[in-house]
Structure 1
Amino acid sequence: MNLLPKSSKEFGSVDYWEKFFQVRGKKAFEWYGTYLELCGLLHKYIKPREKVLVIGCGNSELSEQLYDVGYQDIVNIDISEVVIKQMKEHNASRRPQMRFLKMDMMQMEFPDASFQVVLDKGTLDAVLTDEEEKTLQQVDRMLAEVGRVLQVGGRYLCISLAQAHVLKKAVGHFSREGWMVRVHQVASCQDQVMEAEHRFSLPVFAFIMTKFRPVAGSALQIFELCTQEQGKPRRLDSAERLAEAVLERQQYAWLCCQLRRKAGQGSVSLDLCDGDTGEPRYTLHVVDSPTVKPSRDNHFAIFIIPQGRETEWLFGMEEGRKQLAASAGFRRLVTVALHRGQQYAGMDSIQAELSARVMELAPLGLTAQQQVPFLSVGGDIGIRTIQHQDCSPLSGDYVIEDVQGDDRHFFRRLIFLNNRNVVQSEARLLRDMSHRAQKKRKKDRKKQRPADTPEAPSAAPGKSIDRGYLCCEHHKAMIAGLALLRNPELLLETPLAVLVVGLGGGSLPLFVHDHFPKSCVHAVEIDPSMLEVATQWFGFAQSDRMKVHIADGLDYVTALAQGGEARPPYDVVMFDVDSKDPTLGMSCPPPAFVEPAFLQNVRSILTPGGVFILNLVCRDLGLKDSVLAGLKAVFPLLYIRRIEGEVNEILFCQLCPEQKLATPELLAMAQALERMLRRPGQGWDDTYVLSEMLKTVKIV
C-alpha cells in the first residue's frame, strides 16, 4: 500500500497526517531510518540524563528505544491527536515516565530553557515543503520555539534529507543567532537507495545546532561538516561552502543509486576527497562493458592507475578506458587515478581505504561476500616525485614531476595544474649510471658536440635528460615532416632555418638542433617562466644555433612578415602552442594562429620549398573543418597525420602543389633521411622509425 503523499505540500497538512496514522494504524513508521541506523549518531550527541523533547514524534519507535537503553527523560509532541492517543496507550504501562502530548510545535506550552536536546526526525522537512512566504513564516515560528525551549549549550538535533531550501533555512536561521552549525551525514542510512517506494535516493543527514550565549558585537560563525560517524568534522568558511559540500554528498549518493540500478549507461566520473582537507585524493571513472558475457567472477573490478600514467590514452581518455575494461573482461570496471600532492603507502593501504567507497559503485546483485579484485599494471602504484612547484604569471600553477613508465624508465613532465590531465612537456631521464660511466658518457658527448654547442645543464642532481629521445608522438610526427623538404638526404650537410613557436620544455627545438648540425633554430615563447623551466629542468641550452625569443608568437611572425626583422625566410615553421582557454573546442593552437590573415604571414616567411608543420588539437568537428579549409586556401598542398590514441593531428602544409608525393615516394624520402640520422655519433633512438610516422599520412 502506497502511504507516501502524492505532493510534498501535503507533508505540512494536519489533515494529511491524521489520515496517514488512521490508515497506518499502530504499525511504526520510521521516517529517515530506524533506531539501529541512527543510534550511533544519537548516542554521540545526546547524554542519557539530558531532558529531550521530540517534536513531530508520529508513531516512531525511536523514543521508545531511546527510553529502553536509559534515556528516560523524554517528552514527545505531535499535532495528531490520533497518534498521541495511540502512543499513550502503547507506552502507559511499559514506559511510565515518558510523556506524549498533543501540541503545536509552533506554539509550545513549555517554559523557556526547559530542554537540553530537541530531537526532530523529518519534521522540519515535513513543514518546509516550499519557499512560499506563508511556509517560511511557519518555519520561523517553529525554529524560534526550538531556540526558546532549549537551554544554553543545548542542541537541536534534526534528522533531514538536507534538501537545498531546507539546509539554507536551517543554517541561515541558527547561524544568525550565533549558534554553532554542524551537518553530520548519517553513515548507516546512506545506502537508502530506491529499492522500494518507501526508500530514498538521497542520503540522510543530521543538523546539530548548538545554542551559544549571545555575545554583543560578535560576528563569529562556525560551520562544520562530518561525513563519518566517528570522523573528525571539517570546518568550512561559509554557509555557502557548507551547502556545496552537502550537495556533493547528495550527488554522490544519487550516482551510486543510479549505478546500482542501471548498467551500461556510459562512463561516469567522480572525485573522492580527503575527509580532513577536502582536497581530491582519487578520481574514479566507472566504465560498463555490456558486451562482456556475465559469469560468476567477472561482475566488478577496481583498476588502480599507477601514479603519473593517468594521462596515457588507455587511462586518460574515455575510449581508452572502454578498451581497458573490455580487455580486462569485467562487466564493470572502476579506474582509480591517484592525485599528485597526496601520499599513498602502497596497494594494500589504498585497497583498505577504498574498499567501502567503491563497493557503493558496485552493480546491483553483487553479494557482500563476493571478493572484488584490485588490479594494476605490474601490481604496484607507480612512482611520482614532484621535483619543483611554482606559479607562472601567464600560465598559472605548474609542477615538474618525475614518474616511472611501464618500461622502468623515468620521465620528467611539466604539468599545468589548470589542466592537470595534460602533459605539457615530457623528457626521458637517463638511467642511473656509475660515476665512471657518467664521466665517459660526458667525455664522448664532448667529442661529438660541435664547437658552438655548450654543455646542457644537469636536469637534476644525479639525473640527465636523454636528448636523443622524443617522448611525444606528435613531436615524432613533426620531425618526420622534415622528409618533405627537397633532398632530405642532404639535410645534415646544408643550412636549415627553423622557427618553432611554443617552447614548453624545449624538447622539439632541442632535437632539431642536436640532430641537424647545420640547422639554425629560433624558438618563440610568450612565457619567460617556460624558458627557466626548460633550462633548469629539461636540459635545454641556447647557443649560436639556438636562440629563444620571449614574445607573442602572433606578434613575432607578423613583424617578420612585415619586414621588421632582417632575417632570411625559414625552411621549416613549426607551431606547437596551446590555448589557455579551456572552453574552446580547439585547445591547440589558439584560434588566432589559424586566422586567414595570420596564415598569410606564415606563408610569407616560408621558403618556396619549405614546410609549415602545425600541431592541431580540435574536438569540434565543425571548427576543424573550418580550420582545414582556411589552411587549404593559403597552402595548396596539405597533408594530415592523425596521432593514434590521441586527439592530436599533425598538418604538413606546403606552397607548391606540384611537390605532392605519393605514399611510396614519401616513405622513400623518410627512409633516406633516417639513414643519415642513424649515423654513428648522432645519438639516434633506435625505436624511432621516421617512415612509420608517415605511413598513415593523407592528403587533404
Structure 2
Amino acid sequence: MALLPRSNTEFADPNYWRSFFEKRQTPFEWYGDFNQIGSSLERYLKPQDAIIQIGCGNSLLAEQLYDNGYRRVTSIDTDQGVIDKQRSRNANNRPELLFERADASRLTYEAGTFSAVLDKGTLDALFPPDADDATRSTVKSMFSEVQRVLSPGGRYIVVTLAQEHILQEWLSYFSETHEFILRIHKCAKCDDGFVMPVFLLVATRLKAPMPGQPILELSLADAANKAKRMSSVDELVENVRAAQEYNWFCHMCSEKLSSEASITINGPDGRPRYLISICDDPELKSVYLYAMFIVPVGREAEWLFCTAKGRQILRKTCNRHRLAVVRLYRNQEYESLDLIKDELNSIALDLAPGKSKGQKIEFLSLGEVDVKKTLAGGKSAVNGDWTVENVQVRTNLYRRLVFLSSQNLVQSEALLKKVKGKHVVDLDTLTCDHHEAMLSALGLLGDRFAADAPLRLAVVGLGGGSLASFLHRKLPRASVVGVELDPEVVTIAAKWFDCPVDDSRMTVVVGDGVKFLADAVKGDLFDVVFVDVAGAMHDDGLSCPPAVFITDECLRHMRDSLTPTGCLALNLVTRDEEISASVRSKLAQVFPTVLRHSSEQEVNEVLLCPKWSIESNEPRKRAKSLPSGDKWLKTMGDNLNNLRIC
C-alpha cells in the first residue's frame, strides 16, 4: 500500500504510474478483479462483443475476460513497458488478446470499431477532484473518442468509486450528447477490506439521438433488483451518495463504536422508512452479542427509544453488547413484524460487528408493529399534518398530539383514566417530568404560593394544554393565560385534551409568543411565566425554545413581564452542551440567579430564573415550607431540592 499515490497530483500523473508499475511486478487490481466485479460486468458485456480496455496497466482483467469467454479484447495503455509485459504474459495461452500502446484521448481506431469500451479505474486516476483545465480537456477528449469508436447499441463501462466530481463530469458530457442511456450500477461487495462501494457507469449508445431529458437509471447490486428510473441528475447523484454513506457506515460498524451512530434507510419510494441507531457497550473493548430491536409506531418518541441514554439502558436490559434500535415512520406502511424482519435482514447482517459474523441475527420487539389508535388527524397551516392518538404503554393509556413533520417529538401528552366506563383526560396528573420540574417556579414564590394567593400565570406554548390545565385545576384562585401560535392546536386542546379554554380563569391568546412577551411588559405582570415552546431542531441546535426566544431583547421582555417576586420557568431542549451553556450564560446576563434542573431520563433541561437574587440553599428551604398533602407538592419539593445554581 505504500506505493499508492500520496496526492491528487500523483494520482493523475502518467510518470507516477510508469514508476508504479516498474516497481510492482505482480498485477495490481483497482476495485477488485473479475472474481469480484465479473457478475456485474456480465450484465453489460456479451461474449461476441469487440471490447477495448483503456488504461489496462498490469491488470489481469483482459486475460480473466478471455478465460470467461470474451475473446475479442483489445487493451491499451500509455506505458510501453506495461504493454510489453502483458503481451509476454499472454502470448502463448491467449493469442487472440491484443495489447497496444495508445492514448485514450487520441485513439487511432475507426469510428464504430468497438461494441464495448471498458475503463477500470482509468477515469478515477486521470481526473482528481482539483483537476486543472488541461486535465478537464483531456477527459473530454477521452469521452469524445469513446463516443466515436463505440458502435450503436454499444456500451461505455467505467469501473469507479463514483466520486461526485466524476459523476457530474460523466453525466454532463454524455447527457448533453442525447445519444446515450445512462445507468449507474452498484457492484456487489468487492472485498471485505475495501471500504467504499464500487460502481459501474454504463453509457449505452442509441442508434439515433433522442431529444429531451436523457434516460437516467440506477441499479443496486442484487442481480434481481431491476434498474430504477431517476427523474433528474441530482436525484441520481443523491442516491449514489446514499449508497456510499451506507457502505462507510457499515465499515465503521464492523468494529466497536466509540459513540452511538445512526443511519436512515429509505424505502422504495425514496422516503425514510427506518431510522437505525447503533449503541455498543462502552465498557467493552470488542462486541459480539448483537440484536436488532424494533420500536412500534406510537412509541418512537419515548425517552427509552428516542435518546442515546435511553437506548443504552434498553441495550443493557436486552443483555446485548450491541443493540441496533430501529424506529419506524408514520407515513410508511408496515404489514407485519415478519415483513419488517425480512426487509431488515440483510441490513442487520451489514451492521453486525465483525466478531459476530456468522451468528444468526436476533430481532427483538414489543410484539406489535403499531400500538397507537388514531382518533383524529388534520393539517394545520402552521404545523402541517397532525394526529391525535391513544397509545397503550404497559398498564397506562396515554393521549398524544403528534406533528408528523417532527414525529419523534410528542407535542402534547395526557394520561387517560376511566370514569363511568369511559376514558377521559386525567387533568390532575402531569406525564412529563419537565412540566413537574417547571412547577418548582411556584415553590420559589415562598409565602405567596403557600398562602394560596391569587397568582397570575402565563404558559407560552399552550399545545394540548396539559400544563395550563393542571395549573388551572390545582390553583383555584389563579388566573392562567395560555399563548399558542397555531389556532388549530387550541381547538385540539379543547376537544381532545379537555383544556378549559372557555373558563373565566383561563384566557387563551392566539398569536406569536415573542410578541406576547413584548406586550406583556406594558400590562399586568405575571408571578410566573412558563416558556415551553417546541420547534424543529434546526442548524442552531435548539429544539426548544426556538432561537428567537433566546435573543437579548426577548429575554429582557421575559424578565420585565414578571412581578418583582416573579420567576421564569424555561424548558430547554438541545443535544449540544455548548449551546446549553450559552443559553444559561445569556440568561445569567439578564436575571440575577439562574437555577438548573436536569434529569437522566429527559432530554429536557429546565431553567428557573427568579427576578431576585437568592442563596444556594434557598430552594431547599422553600421545599421544607411547602404545604403537605397532595402528591404533586411532594414532587415539587423533590425538584426544589435538586435545583442547582448555574
Report how far residue 144 of structure 1 moved. 0.7
- Report the Cα distance in structure 2 between the residues aligned to 1:623 and 1:127, rounded to whole angstroms: 48
For residues 297-696 of structure 1, the aligned pairs below 5 Å read: 298-325=288-315, 328-364=318-354, 366=355, 368-376=357-365, 378=366, 380-381=368-369, 383-384=371-372, 391-395=379-383, 397-400=384-387, 402=389, 404-417=391-404, 419-429=406-416, 440=420, 465-479=425-439, 481-483=441-443, 484=445, 486=447, 491=452, 497-545=456-504, 546-563=506-523, 570-578=526-534, 582-584=538-540, 586-590=542-546, 593=549, 612-617=568-573, 619=577, 620-630=579-589, 632-633=591-592, 640-654=596-610, 663=620, 666-667=623-624, 669-674=626-631, 689-696=635-642
Equivalent residue, structure 2, for 1:285: 277
- The amino acid across from 2:125 in the alignment is A
- Report the Cα distance in structure 2 between the residues aligned to 1:591 and 1:265, rounded to whole angstroms: 31
- Report the Cα distance in structure 2 between the residues aligned to 1:144 and 1:135, rounded to whole angstroms: 14
Report how far residue 430 of structure 1 moved. 5.2
Equivalent residue, structure 2, for 1:225: 218
Equivalent residue, structure 2, for 1:235: 229
- The amino acid across from 1:502 in the alignment is G
Equivalent residue, structure 2, for 1:445: none
For residues 22-421 of structure 1, the aligned pairs below 5 Å read: 23-25=23-25, 27-92=26-91, 94-129=93-128, 130-178=130-178, 179-189=180-190, 191-193=191-193, 200-213=194-207, 215=209, 218-230=211-223, 231-260=225-254, 263-274=256-267, 276-292=268-284, 298-325=288-315, 328-364=318-354, 366=355, 368-376=357-365, 378=366, 380-381=368-369, 383-384=371-372, 391-395=379-383, 397-400=384-387, 402=389, 404-417=391-404, 419-421=406-408
- Report the Cα distance in structure 1 between the residues aligned to 2:630 and 2:415, rounded to whole angstroms: 24
Report how far residue 22 of structure 1 moved. 5.0
- Report the Cα distance in structure 1 between the residues aligned to 2:281 and 2:536, rounded to whole angstroms: 35
- Report the Cα distance in structure 2 between the residues aligned to 1:287 and 1:169, rounded to whole angstroms: 39
- Is contact 2:446–2:622 with CA below 8 Å preserved after alignment? no
- The amino acid across from 1:155 in the alignment is R
- The amino acid across from 1:642 in the alignment is S
Report how far residue 473 of structure 1 moved. 1.3
- Report the Cα distance in structure 2 between the residues aligned to 1:630 and 1:323, rounded to whole angstroms: 37
Query: SS at 2:626's partner residue?
Result: helix
- Report the Cα distance in structure 2 between the residues aligned to 1:602 and 1:105, rounded to whole angstroms: 70
- The amino acid across from 1:645 in the alignment is Q
Report how far residue 158 of structure 1 moved. 0.9
CA deviations over 1:602-649 (Å, ceiling 9, x no partner): 56665666654333446424423324424533xx7x654334422433
Equivalent residue, structure 2, for 1:451: none
Q: 1:664 to 1:674 in 2, by over 3 A?
A: farther
- The amino acid across from 2:33 in the alignment is T
- Report the Cα distance in structure 2 between the residues aligned to 1:575 and 1:11, rounded to whole angstroms: 57
Q: 1:212 to 1:561 in 2, by over 3 A?
A: same
- Is contact 1:594–1:630 with CA below 8 Å preserved after alignment? no
Gaps of 5+ in 2: none
- Is contact 2:468–2:480 with CA below 8 Å preserved after alignment? yes
Report how far residue 148 of structure 1 moved. 0.8
CA deviations over 1:92-137 (Å, ceiling 9, x no partner): 5544544444333222232222222222211222322451122122
- The amino acid across from 1:71 in the alignment is Y
- The amino acid across from 1:126 in the alignment is A
Query: SS at 1:188's partner residue?
Result: coil
- Report the Cα distance in structure 1 between the residues aligned to 2:542 and 2:12, rounded to whole angstroms: 52
Report how far residue 186 of structure 1 moved. 0.8
Q: 1:572 to 1:380 in 2, by over 3 A?
A: same
Report how far residue 390 of structure 1 moved. 5.1
- Is contact 2:253–2:352 with CA below 8 Å preserved after alignment? yes
Query: SS at 1:505's partner residue?
Result: coil
- The amino acid across from 1:505 in the alignment is G
- Report the Cα distance in structure 1 between the residues aligned to 2:324 and 2:611, rounded to whole angstroms: 49
Query: SS at 2:533's partner residue?
Result: coil
Equivalent residue, structure 2, for 1:435: none
- Report the Cα distance in structure 2 between the residues aligned to 1:6 and 1:612, rounded to whole angstroms: 58
Gaps of 5+ in 1: 194-199, 432-437, 443-462, 678-687
CA deviations over 1:252-302 (Å, ceiling 9, x no partner): 323333443x5353222222222x22222222223333413768xx44333
- Report the Cα distance in structure 1 between the residues aligned to 2:271 and 2:303, rounded to whole angstroms: 25
Report how far residue 57 of structure 1 moved. 3.1
Q: 1:665 to 1:22 in 2, by over 3 A?
A: closer
- Report the Cα distance in structure 2 between the residues aligned to 1:6 and 1:507, rounded to whole angstroms: 61
Report how far residue 145 of structure 1 moved. 1.0
Q: 1:375 to 1:101 in 2, by over 3 A?
A: same
Report how far residue 18 of structure 1 moved. 5.0
- The amino acid across from 2:483 in the alignment is V
Query: SS at 1:315's partner residue?
Result: helix
Query: SS at 1:649's partner residue?
Result: strand
- Report the Cα distance in structure 1 between the residues aligned to 2:377 and 2:296, rounded to whole angstroms: 21
Report how far residue 335 of structure 1 moved. 2.6
Q: 1:544 to 1:22 in 2, by over 3 A?
A: closer
Q: 1:220 to 1:508 in 2, by over 3 A?
A: same
- Report the Cα distance in structure 2 between the residues aligned to 1:581 and 1:383, rounded to whole angstroms: 26
Let me know the Cα RMSD of the aligned residues.
Answer: 3.7
Q: 1:166 to 1:487 in 2, by over 3 A?
A: closer
- Report the Cα distance in structure 2 between the residues aligned to 1:503 and 1:374, rounded to whole angstroms: 40
- Is contact 1:575–1:613 with CA below 8 Å preserved after alignment? yes
- Report the Cα distance in structure 1 between the residues aligned to 2:531 and 2:282, rounded to whole angstroms: 42
Identity of aligned residues (%): 35
- The amino acid across from 1:477 in the alignment is A
Q: Which moved more, 1:501-510 or 1:689-698?
A: 689-698
- The amino acid across from 1:696 in the alignment is N
- Report the Cα distance in structure 2 between the residues aligned to 1:355 and 1:149, rounded to whole angstroms: 45
Query: SS at 1:187's partner residue?
Result: coil
- Is contact 2:290–2:356 with CA below 8 Å preserved after alignment? no
- The amino acid across from 2:533 in the alignment is V
Query: When the two structures are aligned, how many residues end up with a matched partner?
Result: 637
- Report the Cα distance in structure 2 between the residues aligned to 1:649 and 1:128, rounded to whole angstroms: 51
TM-score, scaled relative to structure 1: 0.79
Report how far residue 344 of structure 1 moved. 2.9
